[in-house]
């Protein structure tokens, strides 16, 4: 069996049994990165020497009997997480050069667990996008291909580098961040599992901010169990993030085994949207049958404000982004383009440093926050956001989890949807409501499209009930028995 066939759980067992060393595992993954990254562009920065050093330390820790399930496991870290001493870009030229002097809490926790960092994964600039095409460091290619076609496809976004890295076996798992779907949609596009935990479950400290009331870190991996192992290490209260929740972190890996017998699963009528690809609707129906067969009770539910989700998201997220990105002024971080005076320097720096999508969001954000429009847009959006949250609260009095599709289509071609931002934003139609409500949601690979591309189903849970999300996702994973692999991968 090839070393690349091991999952995180499998590799942890092999490491514990001594049948493979961390140095062997990491050397193989460093090799896969060297071979495939020039083609796929999943990493912006690779750190093979650092990875090898960390692998040696992991072997010593395993020998000393002090290992965690992640000790010696090679990971990709999305390049939105600040990593001490390692260049961090947010895929934006405006940060070039930026070498953080501190580590984000989440990547620091993974480090403390003994995980190994292979490099910093590519993303849409400042995590704004659904295709990875807005990266200032070039697009990422999806390792999957349509059957009989060589066309280059997007891996989804914004955590598309993380997704491509794990799918192509250039990492065993990855960190992502999800503001409106950036973990779930790329996971669906690349045949992976990925969870956006409850807002507040993982610390945002040291994650470059996009929209602070929505941003959440989470794991992406080959299966549900691996995501649970990663989230166990990533989650937890942090005094450095005032929105981090002071809650006990349960054993997520144990929840994977729970089963769904007796659980009530809600099927929201509003997610049956006109024009959704019939393949996706059919897969959703299959998912419903699988859960029924596994002993769950299916309940028809209504989330009446779903139709406002995208509009609310694309007001709230740009508003927060315009404020968060005000700090990139050529003074404190990264790039500077000199001008005749201070204002001119700000303007030249921001004009040169930000890409088109980021500029669009800043303009929308400042507009909806401006005097005279604040009430009509931002305040209204906040009110509707509250109604969306109330929809979920009402429904979760009746059901334990909700099942929906993850995305309205399979992976699309590189360059498609780029000239029409609204079509691009439609990618997020199924993922943004859970983000606005702050509830946990996971995408799990459930089948292939007629063209041979992976499709995902989404499981949404109550606040801080990731355990049920894991249990339901694992039941779908088991029933789906999704085993296909992408064309481009380390073998």
Q: How far apart are CA 198 and CA 464, in angstroms?
A: 6
CB-wise, 24 or 241, nearer to ligand GLN?
241
Phi, psi (5° rounding) for residue 31?
-65, -40
Least distance between ligand GLN and beta carbon 38 (Å): 26
Nearest approach, Cβ of residue 186 and ligand GLN (Å): 9
In angstroms, give the least distance from the CB of 361 to ligand GLN.
8
In the complex, which residue's CB is closest to ligand GLN? 182
Catalytic residue, from 78, 109, 111, 417: name it: 78
Rounded Cα gap, residues 402 and 267, in angstroms? 6
Instruction: Count how many residues are written for the chain.
Output: 491
CB of 163 to ligand GLN, least distance (A): 12
Of residues 217 and 401, the one with the C-beta less far from ligand GLN: 217
Distance CA 313, CA 305 (A): 13
Query: What CA–CA distance (Å, rounded) separates 125 from 132?
Result: 8
CA 321 to CA 339: how far, in whole Å? 25
User: Cα separation of 77 and 46, whole Å?
Assistant: 10
- Closer CB to ligand GLN, 14 or 217, in the complex: 217
Q: In what order do the strands lie in the sheet with 216-221?
A: 43-46, 116-121, 74-78, 173-178, 216-221, 193-196, 441-448, 454-461, 401-405, 264-268, 297-301
Are residues 171 and 118 in contact, defined by beta-carbon separation less than 8 angstroms? yes
Task: Find the catalytic residue in 159, 182, 435, 443.
Answer: 182
Shortest Å, Cβ 177 to ligand GLN: 6
CA angle 196, 200, 206 (to 5 degrees): 90
Residue 289 CA neighbour count, 13 Å, CB half: 9
Based on CB atoms, which residue is closest to ligand GLN, 9 or 128? 128
Q: Which residues pair with 195 in a beta bridge?
A: 442
Rounded least distance, CB 487 to ligand GLN, Å: 25
Minimum CB distance to ligand GLN smaller for 181 or for 433: 181
Query: In a 3-state reduction of DSSP, which class is residue 103?
Result: coil
Interaction site with ligand GLN (CB under 6 A)? 127-130, 158, 178-182, 210, 317, 428
Minimum distance from residue 338 beta carbon to ligand GLN (Å): 32
The CB-of-226 to ligand GLN minimum distance in angstroms stands at 21
Residue 5: partners with Cβ closer than 8 Å, 6 or more residues away: none
Measured from the CB atom, is 62 or 121 closer to ligand GLN? 121
Q: In sequence order, what are the residues at sequence separation of 6 or more whose Cβ sits closer than 8 angstroms to the Cβ of residue 455?
A: 188, 279, 280, 283, 405, 406, 407, 410, 445, 446, 447, 448, 449
Q: Which is nearer to ligand GLN, 182 or 306 (CB)?
A: 182
Total H helices, total E strands in the chain: 16, 11
21, 130, 131, 158: which one is catalytic? Answer: 158
Q: Is 182 part of the annotated catalytic residue set?
A: yes
Residue 480 and residue 491: Cα distance in Å, rounded?
A: 24
Residue 182 or 223 with smaller CB distance to ligand GLN: 182
Active site residues: 78, 158, 182
């Amino acid at each position: 069996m090839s070393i690349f066939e091991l999952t995180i759980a499998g590799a942890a067992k092999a490491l514990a049994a001594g049948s493979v060393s961390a140095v062997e595992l990491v050397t193989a993954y460093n090799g896969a990165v060297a071979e495939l990254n020039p083609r796929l562009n999943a990493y912006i920065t690779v750190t093979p020497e650092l990875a090898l050093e960390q692998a040696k330390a992991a072997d010593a820790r395993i020998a000393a009997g002090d290992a965690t399930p992640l000790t010696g496991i090679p990971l990709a870290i999305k390049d939105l997480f600040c990593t001490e001493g390692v260049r961090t870009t947010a895929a934006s030229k405006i940060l070039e050069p930026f070498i953080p002097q501190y580590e984000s809490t989440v990547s620091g926790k993974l480090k403390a667990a003994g995980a190994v960092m292979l490099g910093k994964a590519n993303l849409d600039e400042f995590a704004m996008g659904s295709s990875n095409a807005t990266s200032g460091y070039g697009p990422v290619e999806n390792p999957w291909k349509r059957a009989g076609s060589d066309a280059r496809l997007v891996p989804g976004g914004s955590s598309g580098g993380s997704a491509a890295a794990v799918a192509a076996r250039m990492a065993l798992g990855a960190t992502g961040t999800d503001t409106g779907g950036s973990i779930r949609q790329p996971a669906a596009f690349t045949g992976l599992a990925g969870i956006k935990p409850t807002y507040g479950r993982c610390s945002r400290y040291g994650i470059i901010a996009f929209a602070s009331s929505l941003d959440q870190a989470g794991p992406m991996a080959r299966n549900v169990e691996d995501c649970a192992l990663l989230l166990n290490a990533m989650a937890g209260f942090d005094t450095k993030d005032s929105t981090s929740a002071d809650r006990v972190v349960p054993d997520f890996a144990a929840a994977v085994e729970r089963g769904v017998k007796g659980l009530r699963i809600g099927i929201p009528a509003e997610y049956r949207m006109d024009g959704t690809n019939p393949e996706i609707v059919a897969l959703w129906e299959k998912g419903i049958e699988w859960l029924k067969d596994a002993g769950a009770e299916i309940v028809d539910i209504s989330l009446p404000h779903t139709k406002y989700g995208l509009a609310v998201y694309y007001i709230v997220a740009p508003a927060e982004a315009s404020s968060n990105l005000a700090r990139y002024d050529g003074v404190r971080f990264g790039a500077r383009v000199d001008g005749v005076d201070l204002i001119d320097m700000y303007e030249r720096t921001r004009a040169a440093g930000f890409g088109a999508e980021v500029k669009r969001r800043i303009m929308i954000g400042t507009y909806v926050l401006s005097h005279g429009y604040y009430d009509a847009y931002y305040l209204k959006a906040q009110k509707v956001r509250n109604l969306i949250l109330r929809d979920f609260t009402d429904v979760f009095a009746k059901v334990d989890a909700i099942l929906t599709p993850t995305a309205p289509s399979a992976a699309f071609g590189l360059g498609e949807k780029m000239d029409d931002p609204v079509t691009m934003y439609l990618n997020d139609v199924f993922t943004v409501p859970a983000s606005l409500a702050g509830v946990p949601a996971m995408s799990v690979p459930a089948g292939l499209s007629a063209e041979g591309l992976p499709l995902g189903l989404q499981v949404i849970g109550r606040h801080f009930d990731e355990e049920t999300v894991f249990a339901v996702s694992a039941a779908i994973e088991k029933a789906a028995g999704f085993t296909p692999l992408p064309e481009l991968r380390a073998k």
